[in-house]
Amino acid sequence: MTGRLDMTSGVEQSGLASPVDLLKADLRARLQEVQASRRRIVEAAAEARRQLERDLHDGAQQRLVSLSVDLQLLRREVADGAVAEMVDGAIRTLREALTELRELARGIHPALLSDQGLAPALDALAQRSPVPIELDLELEGRLPIDVETAAYFVAAEALTNVAKHAHASFARVKATNTDGVLTLAVSDDGVGGAQLDGGGGLLGLADRVAAINGQLTIDSPPGGGTRVAATIPHSERGT
């Protein structure tokens, strides 16, 4: 019986990849390296923000609180007059400084987000909003801190825009965590017209979300309100 001649090339028989295949594999490896690097940068920045918030809370803020108590004790010992007015003025100024410092610390990284998670932090955002906010949250347990941080600041920036620019009478924050994907959407009934490519805070948020393999989208037709949505895949393990 005559054997059949195998015309397969030596390269194919040896299993060697073609130059195109090698180039594709190299590009995939480089892309994975870039994605991992971007995520490490985001995680490092988030940790730095948390540390700065803790430093402000445990350092400057506590000293100002202590000074406020001392001034109030002093005020009780001072009779009405010019000195009393000066002490009262100092107390008012100190209270304003404390309020500004707390707002600054919250903008850097809210302690509530670190301590209790995304749902309580979103609830606090809604409570502070000058526009009525409806919350629809289906979140249980903790998520990875970089995911929680990105989602929180998406909501914070979107609600800030609602209050400042949308001329809205109502807004809604919806967040769900299903099958390892966090979806957060902020919608309003305002004037619309927001653009992701317009620069500013929204573009920065898109970069932050993309760095952890998520996606930020905006639907904002003129006169039709605005919907800002982030979709972020993640592992089920929280921190």
Backbone angles phi, psi at 219, to 5 degrees: -120, 110
* 172 vs 226: CA distance, rounded Å: 11
The structure tokens listed for 176 are: 């769900």
Q: Do 225 and 168 form a contact (C-beta atoms < 8 A)?
A: yes
Per-residue pLDDT of the chain (239 residues; tens, 9 = 90+): 444 444 444 444 445 678 777 777 777 777 777 666 666 666 666 666 666 666 666 777 778 888 888 888 888 888 788 888 888 888 888 888 777 777 666 666 677 888 889 999 999 999 989 999 999 999 988 999 889 989 998 999 999 999 999 999 999 999 999 999 999 999 999 999 988 765 567 887 888 888 888 999 999 999 999 999 999 999 765 54
Under a CB-based contact definition with an 8 Å cutoff, are residues 125 and 155 in contact? Answer: yes
User: End-to-end distance of the chain based on CA atoms, in angstroms?
Assistant: 69
149: closest CA among 49, 229, 216, 237? 49
Instruction: Tell me the two tokens of residue 90.
Output: 């100092």
Strand partners, 85: none
Smallest CA-to-CA distance from 54 within 109, 127, 120, 8 is with 109
Asked whether 112 and 121 are in contact (CB, 8 A), the reply is: yes
Report angle CA 104, 105, 111 to the nearest 5 degrees: 150
Q: Phi first, then psi: give them for residue 51, nearest 5 degrees.
A: -65, -40
| pTM attached to this predicted model | 0.64
The β-bridge relationship of strands 181-188 and 133-138 is: unpaired
